[in-house]
């Protein structure tokens, strides 16, 4: 009897359509570096905004470390196994998802496309991928929820307001608008040392861009005698034009900048929250709580002691601390803790990963080391900048399709079987990495010719994800 081919599935069908159409994908390529280069070219007339969303802290060493970590871990494929039928669906914190991929919380997406987070929310819903919305989004959480639709899966990333009444208001709004889990970013109590911003004094949030959660908050706005409003900031963002209008006495612009300063005093106050402070959120949030920004074993274990539902092993895509370890290296250390392993196995702790994911192989490596899901951020920004919603959809589709194919080639038929298979699937080696990364750094620096009047932070941009929120890519 002849062997039967597998039935079509959503992911492989997407790839097949590229070949049957003869036209190629929406972004013109599926190579992430080429997509990044294309996004840079598309935004060459607004390059400051582009670099603001994608740069990293200091000399970008942590950003580099994120990719170096992935380079060191190599896959060991297994063959002659029946993996004809493959499954990438999984369940995370009680939520059935189409794949272990999440859209990470990237702030101020309106800097790279006129539709901003609305396009990303629609794309996530269309593909069936959960979205984590940044507190520093350029659209209100209500508008994003509407764009994501009644069937969209969404979590809310929380930058902790200084005032309890404002914090409670934000939590209430998120819950009422279908955000089922709360992701508290714990590595950004203050913004890291970001050389590019410091050099040119570039601050979209200080000029009313990325503070839209505050403008839509009734408690915050009532303080200033105003009604909540759901803003859609002008694209492209022009800081100098806003400053000129304010200097000329434009009342609307002056009010916008004042309200922005007051909101930043709430969410960027410089207050360093502690483990004890988490009880406030636990008492006032009905749903899973996830801590994003965990890098140390002790902190992962402390999260278990505190009854936290999940952690995101993340270094903010290298945007907070220069010279820190790669996030995948942190995941490796954390997943060697017996306490973490026991909590994960019993269902008391969910482990997610962020910072550096670019390909299906990257996803497999993170899962094999111990993550149950991954966040993708910077590639989302690239796709958004080039083609809006359609561009984001492609990034998500190609990531899942790549995972689906590569998982089979590694000898696995179910994505759930990958988690924790480090010793079976991976080996850690170190050869030729420095030369390759140096080449990529040179490529990135050369691309900055478009900033002929500026000397920008020169780090290779084929890295780090996430992002950040309070500063932008989350």
Give the whole-angstrom CA distance, residue 219 versus residue 238: 29
Give the whole-angstrom CA distance, residue 319 versus residue 303: 23
Q: Find tokens 């390759």 and name the residue.
A: 436
46: number of Cβ within 10 Å: 17
CB-based contact 312:375 (threshold 8 Å) = yes
Six token digits for residue 464: 């780090």
State the catalytic residue, choosing from 196, 316, 404, 467: 316
CB-based contact 228:184 (threshold 8 Å) = no
Per the annotation, the verdict on 230 as an active-site residue is no
Q: Is 33 exposed, middle or buried (0-12, 13-18, 19+ CB in 10 A)?
A: middle
Residues known to be catalytic: 316
């Amino acid at each position: 009897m002849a062997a039967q081919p597998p039935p079509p599935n959503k992911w492989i069908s997407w790839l097949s359509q590229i070949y049957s159409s003869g036209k190629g994908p929406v972004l013109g390529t599926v190579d992430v570096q080429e997509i990044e280069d294309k996004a840079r070219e598309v935004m060459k007339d607004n390059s400051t905004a582009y670099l603001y969303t994608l740069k990293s802290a200091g000399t970008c060493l942590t950003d580099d470390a994120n990719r170096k970590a992935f380079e060191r871990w190599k896959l060991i494929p297994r063959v002659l196994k029946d993996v004809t039928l493959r499954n990438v669906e999984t369940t995370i914190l009680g939520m059935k998802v189409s794949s272990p991929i999440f859209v990470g919380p990237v702030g101020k997406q309106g800097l790279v496309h006129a539709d901003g987070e609305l396009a990303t929310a629609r794309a996530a819903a269309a593909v069936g991928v959960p979205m984590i919305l940044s507190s520093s989004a350029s659209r209100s959480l209500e508008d994003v929820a509407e764009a994501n639709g009644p069937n969209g899966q969404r979590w809310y990333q929380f930058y902790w307001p200084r005032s309890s009444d404002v914090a409670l208001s934000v939590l209430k709004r998120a819950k009422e608008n279908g955000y089922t889990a709360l992701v508290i970013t714990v590595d950004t109590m203050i913004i890291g040392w970001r050389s590019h911003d410091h050099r040119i004094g570039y601050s979209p949030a200080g000029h009313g861009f990325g503070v839209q959660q505050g403008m839509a908050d009734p408690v915050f706005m009532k303080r200033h005698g105003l009604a909540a409003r759901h803003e859609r900031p002008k694209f492209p963002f022009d800081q100098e034009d806003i400053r000129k209008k304010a200097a000329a006495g434009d009342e609307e612009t002056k009010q916008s900048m004042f309200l922005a300063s007051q909101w930043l005093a709430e969410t960027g106050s410089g207050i360093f929250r502690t483990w004890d402070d988490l009880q406030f959120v636990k008492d006032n949030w009905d749903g899973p709580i996830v801590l994003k920004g965990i890098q140390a074993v002790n902190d992962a274990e402390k999260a278990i002691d505190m009854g936290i539902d999940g952690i995101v092993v993340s270094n903010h895509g290298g945007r907070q601390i220069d010279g820190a370890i790669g996030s995948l290296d942190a995941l490796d250390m954390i997943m060697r803790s017996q306490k973490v392993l026991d909590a994960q196995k019993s269902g008391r702790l969910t482990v997610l990963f962020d910072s550096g994911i670019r390909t299906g192989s990257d996803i497999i490596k993170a899962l094999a080391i111990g993550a149950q899901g991954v966040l993708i951020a910077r590639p989302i920004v690239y796709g958004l900048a080039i083609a809006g919603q359609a561009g984001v959809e492609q990034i998500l589709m190609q990531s899942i399709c790549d995972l689906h194919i590569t998982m089979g080639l590694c000898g696995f038929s179910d994505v759930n079987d990958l988690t924790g298979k480090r010793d079976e699937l991976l080996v850690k080696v170190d050869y030729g990495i420095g030369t390759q990364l140096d080449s990529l750094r040179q490529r990135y620096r050369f691309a900055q010719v478009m900033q002929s009047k500026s000397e920008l932070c020169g780090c290779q941009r084929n890295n780090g994800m996430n992002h950040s929120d309070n500063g932008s890519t989350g």
